[in-house]
Amino acid sequence: MTQSATALRDSGRDQDFLAPAARLRGAGIGGLEELTDLERSERLARMRSGELGSIHSWELVTAVDGPGTRMTIFLNGCPLRCLYCHNPDTFLMKDGEPVEAEELLRRMRRYRRVFRASQGGITLSGGEVLMQPAFAARLLAGAKSMGVHTCIDTSGFLGANATEEMLEDIDLVLLDVKSGDEETYRKVTGRALAPTITFGDRLAAAGTEVWVRFVLVPGLTDEPRNVENVARIVERWRSVVSRVEVLPFHQMGTDKWDALGLDYKLKETRPPEPELVESTREIFRSHGFTVH
């Protein structure tokens, strides 16, 4: 693990974990026990051990975030600041609710029949799931022990936080490749591209199935040269990439940026025209990938 990755990991784990009285939410954590009376020091200790996590919300979805019906859990905390993020309320770990891993695992057990019938499972998303590696590892191991299909949705930037043991408990990775050239990647995320490539290389070496995701933003990520560079990166992982998803940019997160008092730089950006979406997908098809 690099020094910078270690620093990011440690700083992410040690963020103030106390949730404020009022904040934005997604689908919510209905039905999950809220641990609001624990002392801050105990919360942080339990978080480091993976017993406790900072959760934005969870929901049951079908044909999204992986195959079948899935319990998608959104974790708080992310090292990236993507210009098009539609969940800016997950940027900070302190803005989440403290929830026990065991409580989430009990919830998973209730849905095992649904998962089996639909060939679904659980997906850990965010924010960035690898911001809370011990908590994620506990959830993934628990799900695997139940025979539940497991998936994580990640940028790969904190891929160094994923241990070999964790990778063994992951059936599918939704890997967000946000740009194919360094300059555009840094403009989109504020971070470097290299860690994503390194993580993708590890997944390919481990034989872990990958769905690559690429967000198409007019005037930002849509240059054919940039898309071609993404496709060339993904070719490194051809043996494990079963599909590429081109996701058209949308404005559904604008209200969250406004409510949080954040400067949303893409207010004037329109969703891509169907012709642009199709031509972008065709670039990936020309490299031999199944594209959605």
Asked whether residue 42 is assigned to any structural domain, the reply reads yes
Domain encompassing residue 193: 3-285
d(CA 70, CA 263): 33
Q: Domains in the chain: how many in total? A: 1
CATH number reported for the structural domain that contains residue 96 in this entry: 3.20.20.70
pTM of the model: 0.88
Residue type, 226: N
pLDDT values of the chain reduced to their tens digit, one per residue, 292 residues: 433 333 333 333 333 333 333 334 444 565 555 555 557 778 888 889 999 999 999 999 888 899 999 999 999 999 999 999 999 999 999 999 999 999 999 999 999 999 999 999 999 999 999 999 999 999 999 999 999 999 999 999 999 999 999 999 999 999 999 999 999 999 999 999 999 999 999 999 999 999 999 999 999 999 999 999 999 999 999 999 999 999 999 998 899 999 999 999 999 999 999 999 999 999 999 999 999 9
Asked whether residue 274 is assigned to any structural domain, the reply reads yes
Asked whether residue 244 is assigned to any structural domain, the reply reads yes
Asked whether residue 292 is assigned to any structural domain, the reply reads no
Task: Locate 165 and state its tokens.
Answer: 């043991």
Asked whether residue 225 is assigned to any structural domain, the reply reads yes
Pairing of strands 97-100, 52-62: antiparallel
d(CA 61, CA 112): 14
Asked whether residue 290 is assigned to any structural domain, the reply reads no
d(CA 9, CA 132): 8
Asked whether residue 158 is assigned to any structural domain, the reply reads yes
Q: Find all residues with CB under 8 Å of 90, minimum gap 6, and list them.
A: 26, 56, 74, 75, 76, 77, 78, 96, 126, 127
